Amino acid sequence: MKVLAAGVVPLLLVLHWKHGAGSPIPITPVNATCATRHPCHSNLMNQIRNQLLQLNSSANALFILYYTAQGEPFPNNLDKLCSPNVTDFPPFHANGTEKARLVELYRIIAYLGASLGNITRDQKVLNPNALSLHSKLNATVDVMRGLLSNVLCRLCSKYHVAHVDVAYGPDTSGKDVFQKKKLGCQLLGKYKQVIAVVAQAF
């Protein structure tokens, strides 16, 4: 049973990374059993804080790299093209309990991870020579992956939460190129804004 439970979590994680796909996963009931494949780090919250700080410190540079690579009119019309009005972005309440904040953080990181995956995929096609942007996107996605694991570990080990409902952003694969650029820019603008609040909350 333990083996089965241990295999479910990574499987769900893999499902989370499917770009633009997936369905909300319900929160595990509090009394449900929760187990992780590897033991959680002893100083987990500190690691989460550091990862949030790391993301926060690089978010603005990533944003600048992105809109610069898209060409005009993006750099000179950030308010019109890159405004962080992402309607379905998961909410975050900084004054909630740690459990609630962790659950909201999990949703946000899951949403961002999927969206950044889409952006990375698109930019490799649309701007194949923007290597620094690709590198920054990959690094951010990597940190998010670790952060997501740590948050889940914390939720599981302390609050016995093994499953969290998550939602993902719109799939951009069918959009036209300009729209892809715009959606990516908006998402990164939102990311820059949200990650600052989240990092502050932890």
Partner 1 sequence: MALFAAFQTSLLLALLSLRAYQSEVLAEPLPLTPESLNVSIDSAHQYLNLQWSVHSLAYYQELKMLFQIQISRMKTSNVIWVGNYSTVVKRDPVLHWSWKSELPLECATHFVRMRSRVDDAKIPEPRFWSNWSSWKEADAQKSLGRDPLFLFPKDKLVEEGSNVTICYISRNQQDNISCYLEGQQIHGEQLDSNVSAFKLNKVSFIRKTGTNIFCKVDQKDVIKGIVLFVSKVLEEPKDFSCETQDFKTLMCTWDPGTDTSLPKRSSQSYTLFESFSGKKILCEHKNSCNWQVDSDSQEMYNFTLMAENALGNRSVSVLFSLTHRVHPKTPYNLFLKNVSGTKATVTWKVHPIGNYSTLLCQLDLLGEGNVIQQHNVSIKENGEYLLSELEPDTEYMARVRCADANHFWKWSGSISQKFVTAEAAPSEALDVWRNVKSVSGHPTVTLFWKPLSKLHANGKILSYNVIVENLDRPSRLEVHSVPATANGTELTLDQYSYQIHVTALNSAGPSPASVIVVSGDPGNEEAEEERINGTEDGFSVSWKPQSRKAIGYVVEWCDHPQDLPCDLQWKNLSSNTTSTVISSGAFRPGVRYNFRIYEISTERMANLLEKKAGYLKELAPSDNPQVVVSNLTSHSFTLSWKDYSTDSQPGFIQGYYVYLRSKAEKECHPGFKKATLSDKSACCQHRIDNPEQKTFVMENLQPESVYEFLVTPYTSAGSGPVDTFTKVTTPDEYSHILIRIILPMIICVLLIMITCYLKSQWMKEKCYPDIPDPYKSNVLSLIKSKENPHLTIMNVSDCVPDAIEVIHKPEGSKIQFLGASKSLTETEFTKPAYLYLLPAEKNYSGPGPCICFENLTYNEAAADSGSCGHFPVTPQAPPSQPGPLTSPENLLKALEKNYMNSLGEIAAGEASVNYVSQLASQMSGDKDGLPTNPPEPVHCSEYKMQMAIPLGLASPPPAENSGLSSTTPLDQSEHYR
Residue 139 binding partner 1, by CB under 8 A = no
Nearest Cα to Cα of residue 175 among 184, 166, 167: 184
Closest CB 156 distance from partner 1, rounded Å: 41
Q: How far is CA 21 from the centre of its chain?
A: 14
Considering only residues 19, 101, 154, 182, which one is a binding residue for partner 1 as defined by CB under 8 A?
A: 182
x-marked contacts with partner 1 along 54-93 as a string, rule CB under 8 A = ----------------xxxxx--x-xxx-x----------
x-marked contacts with partner 1 along 110-129 as a string, rule CB under 8 A = ---------------xxxxx
Please give the structure tokens belonging to residue 40. 């959680």
Q: How far is CA 165 from CA 19, 45, 64, 104, 116, in A?
A: 16, 21, 31, 10, 19
- Residue among 51 and 70 whose Cβ is closer to partner 1: 70
- Residue among 79 and 88 whose Cβ is closer to partner 1: 79
The answer to whether 40 and 161 are in contact (CB under 8 A) is no
Q: Residue 163 has what DSSP assignment?
A: -
User: Where does this chain bind partner 1 (CB under 8 A)?
Assistant: 70-74, 77, 79-81, 83, 125-129, 176-178, 181-182
